[in-house]
Amino acid sequence: MQEYDLVRYWKNCLDKNNNSYKFVFALVLLDHIRTSKHLILSYETIADSFVKFYWDQTVVFKLNHAVNPRQMLVFIQLIRDINPPEIFYKNAKSVYKNELNETREYLLSRKMRTLRNPISRFQSEYKVIDDSSGDKTGSGFLYHWDEDKREIRFNEEPFRLIKKNLWLFKDITVYYFVQFLERNNSIPKIHKKLGLDNSRSAIKTELRRIILQSSEACFYCENELRQETHIDHFIPWSFILEHDKYNLVPACSTCNNGVNGKMALLPKFEFIEKLTDRNLEIFGDEPLTHNKNQHIELQWRTDRDAGYRVW
């Protein structure tokens, strides 16, 4: 197999999808090839990776992962079932650790078809399936899968070629994945929200000065700010991944980081009007519009799971 043919096959596998399963599966394959020399990848590892990925997508960003917005992916439905109403990011992380094993076993025992679809269909027309077993076993240009053994076994040559050109296959996968999500979402910073870029830049000095001079009191408790003054992301940075000026407020250390502080939680809904008034006072009538090269637009709406959310 030539490298050109392998790239062409890989691109074809990522084309024309109704949901994000194949993209996530492709990232799981690449991560295994990057970190391991072994040709065998277990279904348990695949299930773990799917749950980990869709957890943040469901709890934090709530991206639409299907062409049909009414379609609820099984992974997302499972995670929604685990989460009680109004659960927030920090709490959800601890729930996730407790529920991972149970969710994985549920998928492998009762929802195997959910994993079977991307595993058996990823290799598109470049596969040969044993008709007597349905999609439970088969072979393609990249791997052989066996549901009874709960594993896929990579073919040695494509495994070696992908490992050699890992950056190329990762870039291709990310490009098609982001393109798919951008067609089905109006949310900025898609690339960061996929967890593929965890970098966090510093708040610009001038912006820091403006925010700190906007008030001598904590935005939340309204106590006078003394020695230790924090600049807080009203909507936590982990939700929007940006230092947008409309989202930054001065805060005391207790409100921002203390035991009863907001930390990574969404602040109470009542503070939204206060933030709106603050922004009008500081920034005037400057519109809150999304500029691809500058800043993001904050849009609020009620949400049955979290009370409200930011896009």
* DSSP H stretches of helix in the chain: 3-13, 21-35, 43-56, 74-82, 89-110, 112-121, 156-164, 166-184, 190-193, 205-213, 237-240, 253-257, 271-283
pLDDT for the residue numbered 23: 94
* Beta-bridge partner residues of 310: 300
Residue spans of the domains in the chain: they are 3-193, 205-310
Instruction: Please tell me which residue, 88 or 151, carries the higher pLDDT value.
Output: 151
Tens digit of each residue's pLDDT (9 = 90 or more) over 202-212:
888 888 888 88
Give the span between the Cα atoms of 296 and 188, in whole angstroms.
Answer: 7
pLDDT for the residue numbered 295: 32
Tens digit of each residue's pLDDT (9 = 90 or more) over 76-116:
777 777 655 445 455 555 666 666 777 777 777 777 778 88
Percent of the chain with pLDDT over 70: 74
pLDDT for the residue numbered 292: 33
Tens digit of each residue's pLDDT (9 = 90 or more) over 179-215:
999 888 877 778 777 776 666 778 888 888 888 888 8
Q: What letter does residue 241 receive in the DSSP assignment?
A: -
Q: Are 239 and 61 in contact (CB under 8 A)?
A: yes
pLDDT for the residue numbered 185: 81
Residue 176 has pLDDT above 50, yes or no: yes
